Structure 1
Amino acid sequence: MLLIYTHKITPRLTYTMKQVFTRILGIEIGFTTKVEDFIKHKNEKITYTKQPLQNEFFVRSHDLLFEQGINDVDINVMSWDNVPCFFFAGERSSLPFDIFAASFYLISRYEEYLPHVKDAHGRFPSKGSLAYEHKFLERPVVDIWAMKLFVILKERFPGLVQGPRKYKFLSLIDVTTSHCYANRGVIRGAAGFLLDLGTFRIKRLIERIAVGLNIKKDPYDNFATLIEWHKKLKINSIFFFQFANYSKYDKNVSTNSINFRSLIKYIGDYSTVALAASYSSFNDVELLKNEKHNLEDVVNRPVNYSRMRYNRVDVPETYRNLIAAEFTDDFTMGYSYQIGFRAGTCTPFQFYDIPLEVQQPIKVFPFVLHDYALREIHKKKELERRMDAIYNEIKLVKGTFISIFSNELLGSDHTFDWKEVYHQLITKYHV
């Protein structure tokens, strides 16, 4: 066991140290504020405080892990062996930067509590983040810092062993619109027909008629193909179904549709089924609970995983609502239109509620790649280069690569053959 001496044990400190040492590095740790216990400890140990005790492994602490609430934080991003880092620790420290305070700043989403201008959907803007500003959004710096820390600790303590950690790939499929034309009912089908006719969208009109006459398969109905690919490559996947009433931003088929319910049950036989929470449930806990309950009635099992519509996360309220609705895992942490690590990590983490100063019982799985972001890239080679770069970063730290594609985009022909792009991605990056 690695013992950590500090002048004060706080919830922030224990949360961060467990994320870095236990969850990322697989190292068992303990804490003490007693100098005599620290001196008596014969195994690996470090000091995390303002001044070293003797000549031990010492990391000079920033104040962030010993404060409460949100305060103005002075950040100066510099380089540590070509890795961006902040919270300079001084020359006496065994590490040039306090990577623990920096890790907490990123994974707690500290900056999202600070004053900022939200976008049209109430989201924190990616371009307002520290990582975007200093060009390290596409690097899982928290994991990189942890690996660098282990190398340095290993030099001091040759017997220190890192726990098992393997690269993982997880494919998330968003099903907020299961079908483009089919299963939409007579009224919505007729309205769509008249709209296509009135706006002279002849291609859609022909396709709509062909689907209606069962001459052609609905373009969004690619579920059998996805299941086949996932089975062949042994892909770990989760299908997020929207199960909500029709609204301005929620336009799936009716939850009463027998075909739609049969589709969900079919997917549930081969993959995990989860809830794509509706736009309307963002700040309505009771609606969120109802959507969860109704989806559970279809699959006849608990639905514990969630994703918020349009990746809307408002910390800490969003996670408090998800906890109240009894979700255990959330997959919304990421940016819709930017490739990268919103929380600076490719390792799942428990959500830390800063106003309450407590680790909450919901695990956050940060995604790195959203199909909306890929649609912003218009050249195939550039698309492949960006995806390769992300894969290499995650593979290097043995993290978790989480991608998000919608069956809607996979059934479209905008810019690329998106099914081909997706198949290439899962084939290349699942191992």
Structure 2
Amino acid sequence: MQKILIYTEKITPRVQYIFDFVLNEFSGLNFELTTNVQFFEGSNQAKISYAKSSISDEIHWVSDELMFQSDVNSSVKESELHPIGKCFYALSRYEEYLPQKRDHHDRFSGVGRAYKKPFVDEMILKFQEEIKTKYPQIEFKKREFEQVLTCDVDQAWQYKHKGFKRTYGAYLKDLAKGNFQEFNKRKAIISGQEKDPYDTFGLFQKIVQKNPKVRMIFFWLMADYDEFDKNNPVNNPAFQAKIQEISSWAEFGIHPSYSSNSNLNKLKIEIERLSKVLGKPIEKSRQHYLKLKFPETYRNLLANGIKEDHTMAYADETGFRAGTCTPFYWFDLEANQTTDLKVVPFCAMDVSMRNYLKWSKEESIQELIRLKKEIQKVNGQMVVLFHNSNFHGQWEGWEEVMNSVFTD
């Protein structure tokens, strides 16, 4: 692997982290950090100085004080940072450690904040151009555009396999309200005369069958019944059989429940449940309702063996929450250290487009096409989120929206 020597005034965890991402993970280069000016000047290697001013004729990237600090400072302004500092600010989610207004689900809003382009990736490609111009012998890792379709399974079925108490309670409610149409529909679906409207897993399977390059990941809720966790009973044989069936053609991860955010033991139990059904360790996750709070959520995941999280997006906006469409390791700002948790950002969710942004199917398709073009420019990873429950009723026609992402 080709090597670049980097001079910096101080080697800190933040400096190490950002150059690991920019040069090693993204660009496929090795590098060495030094604070020795004489050693740097005497080296014949490709060289970059990361400091307030240049040393000689090397590539010079201006440093920010932010990168030499160990705390979170409310006086830091993203607009005043230089390129490397901006990349770190976005990837670390620096602003989310500062006091911010949050919504009724205790979530950080993306309104007015969501990056509309993967600017971190764009900046790194510009860095590469600069390096290549100065040092033509340097070769970078080849990146390829990749598509990942993901599905959050909050409820596998709308009517079937809900258990005796919930099923017959629903029948009684239908009768009490005089809603005989719903009563008859429920009866027809539970008896097998009609298909359950949430059983849309075949739509996802068709996509991966037509395009084997598309990765498919299901994030499955394994919670006990609660106000925001209304999935099927986890010990139901049909529920477990469906998970095992789908795992033959798709990847799986846990969908940690709404209430697990404040209960570490619940998270542990839910992961163990899915692991037992699949007969293997669970290493991927995405938070239910996209509940993500720094640093607690990610620390909890790490404590329970999760190695890869897919929550990095906003519930109320499309775009790039961390400014990138490239997976990256989470930097715990509060502890000031790099962790082993890989963060996989996604750029769009069905609920964001229809419910929060109030977009039509056509407007949603246009946004997905725009996002796809932006990601293709940097040969990044396009990850999108659809729910198996969102293809009927008011969601009629959203199969077309999902399919639009995966057409050439």
Question: Could you say which TM-score interval applies, normalised by the shorter chain?
Answer: over 0.9
| 2:390 matched residue in structure 1 | 409
Q: 2:377 aligns with which of 385, 389, 396?
A: 396
Distance in 2 (CA, whole Å) between partners of 1:64 and 1:313 is 24
2:349 corresponds, among 360, 363, 370, to: 370
In structure 1, C-alpha distance between the alignment counterparts of 2:253 and 2:61, rounded to whole Å:
42
Partner of 2:164: 186
Task: Report the equivalent of 1:91.
Answer: none
Counterpart of 2:359, as a letter, is: H
Percent same amino acid among aligned pairs? Answer: 32
Q: Distance in 2 between matches of 1:156 and 1:207?
A: 69
Matched, 1:141 2:122: no
SS at match of 2:342: strand
User: How do 1:53-202 residues align onto structure 2 when only pairs under 5 Å count?
Assistant: 53-75=55-77, 77=79, 86-87=80-81, 98-127=82-111, 131-132=113-114, 137-199=115-177
* Matched residue type, 1:181: Y
Offset of 1:203 from its aligned partner? 5.2
Letter in 2 for 1:314: K
Q: Which amino acid aligns with 2:83?
A: I
Instruction: State the secondary structure of the residue aligned to 1:174.
Output: strand
- Please say if residues 21 and 27 of structure 1, whose CA atoms lie closer than 8 Å, have aligned partners that are also in contact: yes
Question: Which one is further off, 373-382 or 391-400?
Answer: 373-382
- d(CA) in 2 for partners of 1:149, 1:202: 65
Q: 1:19 offset after TM fit, Å?
A: 0.9
- In structure 1, the gaps of 5 or more residues are 78-85, 88-97
Superposition deviation, residue 424 in structure 1: 2.5
2:407 maps to 1:427: yes
- CA drift of 1:394 comes to 0.5
Q: Distance in 1 between matches of 2:244 and 2:78?
A: 51
User: Structure 2 residue aligned with 1:30, among 29, 32, 41?
Assistant: 32
Q: Deviations over 1:204-238 (max 9, x none)?
A: 44431220231111010112342233123112111
The answer for unaligned runs of 5 or more in structure 2 is none
Which residue of 244, 254, 271 maps to 1:275? 254
Render the CA deviation track for 1:73-131: whole Å, top value 9, x for unaligned.
Answer: 34363xxxxxxxx52xxxxxxxxxx211111111100000111122111111112x6x3
Equivalent pair of 1:378/1:415 in contact (CA under 8 Å)? no
What letter corresponds to residue 146 of structure 1 in structure 2?
I
- CA gap of 1:151–1:203, structure 2 versus 1, over 3 A, is farther
In structure 2, the residue matched to 1:243 is: 222
Comparing 203-212 with 4-13, which one deviates more in the overlay? 203-212
Counterparts of 1:288 and 1:336, CA distance in 2: 21
1:276 deviates by 0.6
1:197 positional shift: 4.3
The structure-2 alpha-carbon separation of the partners of 1:263 and 1:418, relative to structure 1 and needing over 3 Å to count, comes to same
Q: Any idea what SS the aligned residue of 1:104 has?
A: helix
Match of residue 9 from structure 2: 7
The yes-or-no answer on 1:384 pairing with 2:368 is: no
* SS of match in other structure, 1:69: coil
State the AA in 2 paired with 1:167: F
**RMSD of aligned C-alpha atoms?**
1.7
Provide runs of 4+ in structure 1 moved above 6 Å. none
Report whether the alignment pairs 1:20 with 2:22: yes
Taking structure 2 as the reference length, the TM-score comes to 0.94
2:204 aligned partner: 226
Match of 1:215 among 193, 200, 208: 193
Give the conservation status (yes or no) of the 8 Å contact 2:372–2:405.
Answer: no
Q: Which amino acid aligns with 1:171?
A: L
When normalised by structure 1's length, the TM-score is 0.90
- Residue 280 of structure 1 deviates from its aligned partner by 1.3
Q: Is the 8 A contact 2:109 2:316 kept in 1?
A: no
Matches within 5 A, 1:43-54: 43-54=45-56
Amino acid at match of 2:64: H
Q: Is the 8 A contact 2:78 2:86 kept in 1?
A: no
1:259 partner SS: helix
SS of the equivalent of 2:334 reads coil
Q: Residues 197, 392 of structure 1: CA spacing in aligned structure 2 closer, same or farther, 3 A cutoff?
A: farther
Which whole-Å CA distance do the structure 2 matches of 1:420 and 1:195 have between them? 34
In the alignment, what sits opposite 2:264?
285
Shift of 1:178: 0.5
What's the secondary structure of 2:339's corresponding residue?
strand
Structure 1 residue matching 2:385: 3-state secondary structure: strand
Pick which of 253-262 and 154-163 moved more: 154-163
- Secondary structure at the counterpart of residue 12 of structure 1: helix
Give the residue type in structure 1 aligned to 2:228.
Y
